[in-house]
Structure 1
Amino acid sequence: MTERGGFAPVDARERIGFMDALRACALLGILLVNIEWFSRPWQEFGEGIAPGLPALDMAAALGIHVFVAGKFWILFSLLFGMGFAVMAGRAAAAGRPLVGPYLRRTLVLLAIGLAHALLQWTGDILHTYALAALLLLAMRGLQPRSRLIAGLAVYYGLCALLLLAVGLASLVPGSDAAGAGLEQDPTGAAAEAARVYATGGFAEITAQRASDFARFAGYNLFLVPMAAALFLIGSWLVDSGRIRDLAAYRRFFARTLLLCGPAGLGLALWSAAIGVSVETAGGEVGWLLASTLMSIGALPLALAYLSALALAWTSVAGARALAWLAPAGRMALTNYLLQSLAGTLLFYGYGFALWGRIGHAGLVMLALAVFALQVAASHWWLARFRFGPVEWLWRWATYGIRPPLRQPAAPAT
């Protein structure tokens, strides 16, 4: 059953396989970063690597900080923009309006994100994406090249504002020294939040989640326009033909890898050399500079990762390996929510209460194990069903019709 004009959910044969593989890789990167925050209070968010870690845990934390943190949410954001371009192209080809279905899709995503933040995990990104998607919809009339230029201008304009903040803060006498001497958690808010998450029941933890979510909602003033900028760049990658025909653009991806990889990694290492926390950076101003350099380098490094995977996809061995991951990306929304469910059940007081008991190296191994299980489960599920369960509901709400869920029975031989 399809919507009039053929504008309806696509099946596996119509999907861009590389985008599914890319979503799976982005999911892994996001989990590697997020898993720390299932066992660390949100009051410490933005302070960098916790001090006093054992050597092995510090090495794991540094690896995630330099190579993963801030890069894979960008990759996921680029993919969101790619998905918008694919949906808009299908709507145009079918002669159907885009605005109605896309608004429904966005509002449902907002509802899912808010429920996720309040009932599972404060660090939800879905509600931010939903708000940014409204900006993307408003700019849908831009030509592909104009979207690229606008996306880069907004992203690096925001980074320039951060650099301006660094400069202004550095003019305040003694600002770094004062920042370096701040007492850790002077109000006890982080310690209390840690106690609640580690030992509380569902009701107490839900109240803490709501409090933390309200406290950090202001981050959206920065994250929403940044996400919208990345959406624009991602939509350009599709509408320029680069994602639809990777082989034809091998030279583009090779150049991007060679230029953006060293630039992004160099900025990440420069940032880490300044400091990986408020303490190691010598205070708030030093840490703000280090964080800003990390943000400036995160986009080129994410584009380098994308390019490396695109080049791998154009080889037989690379395509086979990435195709094995692709089912996890086909049901990325379901898997993202399941990662939060697994994290909260493992670490929170109403689950196995492992809060604070696993070091960074162990968290990395746990994230890899959870992701491997998700890939295996996604293979099993999609052998029997056409969509992930949350994706199926999302498409139903978007298109106003219930798409068939089960895979058709194999013909008798």
Structure 2
Amino acid sequence: MQRENETTLDMAANQVVVPVEVKDRIAVLDVIRGFALIGIFLMNVEFFNRSVGELGEGMPAGLSGANWLASYFVSYFVAGKFWTIFSLLFGMGFALMLMRAEEKGQDFFQPYFRRLLALGVFGVLHYILIWPGDILFSYAMGACGLLIVLFGKARWIAIAVIVLGLIAVIPALNKVAALATALAMFGAMAFLMRNEKTLRIFAKPRPIIAVILCMLGAVLFLLGVASFLVPAMASMHPTLFFGLFAFLFAFLLDRAHQPKEARSWKIGSLLYTALFLSMTLGGAAQYLGSEQASKQNANETQQLNKSAASVTSEASSVAENSSEATSKSTASVPEKTKADQRAEDKKKEAERIQKQQEDNRREVVILSKGTYAEALEFRAKEFSENWTNVAIFSVLICCMFLIGYWFVQSGMMQNTQAHLSKFKMMALIGLPFGIGIGIAGSFVSTASVAGLENDPYMFAMGLLYLGNLPACLGYVGLIVILFHSKGVFAKVKLLAPYGRMALTNYLSQSVICSAIFYSYGLGYYGMERAHQVVVVLLVVVVQILFSHWWLSKFRYGPMEWLWRAITYWKLPAFKN
């Protein structure tokens, strides 16, 4: 009887997921994580000296010399490449935790939900108490989306979307619409990932969504062709390009559907690329069509003037032909309505830009001259207003999680030595292509111009973002190659302890920067760009040394230990 009880207790213990031992860690992942953390810091430090509201607006104006070089290097070799690496790593960590739980027959979901809840709380506190450029909250939401994509039931996803949509109808709760939108997009991703329904076309089974998109593309393409033949349909010219885009997307979805084992990276890459390809094409159309748009506006203005002159002439002879004057006056109304609508849209956009600029100026004043209490109030208000942006951004992050998930599912990260040829290909193709198209865009524009109707930066930014994924994969390939090299390049392994303490080091970077730059610290807000890079390098060296010292005495970094304690609901051993 006693032996049976002991066996039962042993089986129960095996059902509880436990923290991974240090010896079971994949060292190359820690090295990649440490490398990514340096890039994240290089990108973030600028926005401890510049309004976070200017994220995505490009290089600041008026730079020269070393400051311009530092800004250009970070903008085109770093920015956007390293949060994507972190996202890959997060997806890899998810897959590893899931696989280990399945192998041992342990529960995965309960500890993982606690893990995400803790990460979300860390993110909110980081945002409000320290710095509003936080990404931890976005990762927590993106990981919830990944669970929905991989395991969510279609019926419950649909019900949740409908319920959230109905709640969003209430004016005071209209921001919930962002959650409904994000959830609907996660549902669409789940359908692409897990739907096995096909239609046999040309003697081959095709995924049903690809068939539907192909039919939609055909309709849009034919409408686009007709718009060039029928003058009255001239406004529908863009449908031709939308049709071609739908054809391309349908073709790629068809190719991504099989084999099933590769679907996660193919779908993740396809959705990420489609988003920024559409941004690039839209920006190109806006940029290249600026001259044509100007001519069209001039022609419309000229027509409006002629219509106004005609109305005035008719009004003077109303007694002679009142009915004709009335009909011509009425005919001119639609043209005026279009002009009024354009003016109203421009006014709204100008008001939005003005509000954003006022918020940015207020942030600068508070952080360069204000108190911590004022900064706290400002960040809390910003979070309440901007969390909806995180909901949409989490969908993009989830695409990267899917790619990272595949890297582990395929076995590549567990045995990088056996796949070195693939990592070399990633580096040789991803780095020059990914960084190259971003640099090509920099010759068009390096910064946004507020209020410019045909701003070329949208096109340049699309190219930059489009290149982030291949560049990210290229950097990962490069670090794996260096990890397995001999001689001086193998020293990259020194980053492993730094990466093992990534959460602690990430949060401490924010604390250190707040202490250096903000008015309630040393007050060096607005430090020159080149000097910011020097600060980063000095802090990174100190953090790497500290990480080596700390892990020689303790098993985990302070925040990593706390995160594991919450995840597994038990206190892990702390000292070595």
Distance in structure 1 (CA, Å) of the matches to 2:406 and 2:93: 11
> Is residue 2:247 matched to residue 1:130?
no
> Is residue 2:476 matched to residue 1:306?
yes
Q: Which residue of 2 aligns with 1:241?
A: 411
Residues 90 and 33 of structure 1, relative CA distance in 2, 3 Å threshold = same
What's the secondary structure of 1:26's corresponding residue? helix
Residues 211 and 169 of structure 1, relative CA distance in 2, 3 Å threshold = farther
Distance in structure 1 (CA, Å) of the matches to 2:450 and 2:443: 9
Equivalent position to 1:153, from 255, 270, 273: 270
Contact 1:35–1:343, Cα closer than 8 Å, also in 2 = yes
Distance in structure 2 (CA, Å) of the matches to 1:283 and 1:12: 55
> Is residue 2:565 matched to residue 1:396?
yes
2:561 partner amino acid = W
Equivalent position to 2:36, from 13, 26, 50: 26
Greater mean alpha carbon deviation, residues 30-39 or residues 151-160: 151-160
Distance apart, 1:104 and its partner CA: 0.9
TM-score of the aligned structures, taking structure 1 as reference length: 0.91
TM-score of the aligned structures, taking structure 2 as reference length: 0.66
Matches within 5 A, 1:14-413: 14-140=24-150, 144-163=261-280, 165-166=282-283, 169=286, 173=293, 188-279=358-449, 285-317=455-487, 320-356=490-526, 358-407=527-576
Residues 121 and 258 of structure 1, relative CA distance in 2, 3 Å threshold = same
Gaps (5+ residues) in structure 2?
1-9, 152-192, 194-259, 298-345
Distance apart, 1:165 and its partner CA: 4.3
Gaps (5+ residues) in structure 1?
408-413
2:264 partner amino acid = R
Distance in structure 2 (CA, Å) of the matches to 1:3 and 1:107: 24
What's the secondary structure of 1:285's corresponding residue? coil
Distance in structure 1 (CA, Å) of the matches to 2:68 and 2:13: 53
1:64-104 per-position Cα deviation (integer Å, ceiling 9, x unaligned): 11100100011111000111111111101110121111111
Residues 284 and 244 of structure 1, relative CA distance in 2, 3 Å threshold = farther
Distance in structure 2 (CA, Å) of the matches to 1:318 and 1:224: 38
Contact 2:484–2:490, Cα closer than 8 Å, also in 1 = no
Cα RMSD after superposing both structures: 2.7
Distance in structure 2 (CA, Å) of the matches to 1:221 and 1:103: 18
Contact 2:33–2:502, Cα closer than 8 Å, also in 1 = yes
What's the secondary structure of 1:275's corresponding residue? coil
Q: Which residue of 1 aligns with 2:181?
A: none
Distance in structure 2 (CA, Å) of the matches to 1:81 and 1:64: 25
Distance in structure 2 (CA, Å) of the matches to 1:27 and 1:328: 8
What's the secondary structure of 1:353's corresponding residue? coil
Distance in structure 1 (CA, Å) of the matches to 2:487 and 2:272: 35
Distance in structure 2 (CA, Å) of the matches to 1:193 and 1:285: 25
Contact 1:344–1:351, Cα closer than 8 Å, also in 2 = yes
Distance apart, 1:192 and its partner CA: 2.1
Distance in structure 2 (CA, Å) of the matches to 1:231 and 1:248: 23
Contact 1:120–1:340, Cα closer than 8 Å, also in 2 = yes
Residues 249 and 40 of structure 1, relative CA distance in 2, 3 Å threshold = same
Residues 319 and 269 of structure 1, relative CA distance in 2, 3 Å threshold = closer
Residues 244 and 71 of structure 1, relative CA distance in 2, 3 Å threshold = same
Distance apart, 1:201 and its partner CA: 1.2
Distance in structure 2 (CA, Å) of the matches to 1:3 and 1:111: 29
Greater RCO (Cα-Cα under 8 Å, separation 6 or more)? 1
Residues 188 and 174 of structure 1, relative CA distance in 2, 3 Å threshold = farther
Distance in structure 2 (CA, Å) of the matches to 1:46 and 1:261: 21
Distance in structure 2 (CA, Å) of the matches to 1:140 and 1:369: 42
Distance apart, 1:188 and its partner CA: 3.4
Residues 222 and 295 of structure 1, relative CA distance in 2, 3 Å threshold = farther
Contact 1:278–1:284, Cα closer than 8 Å, also in 2 = no
The structure in which a higher percent of residues are helix is 2
1:350-407 per-position Cα deviation (integer Å, ceiling 9, x unaligned): 1111101x21110011101111111111111111111111111111111111111111
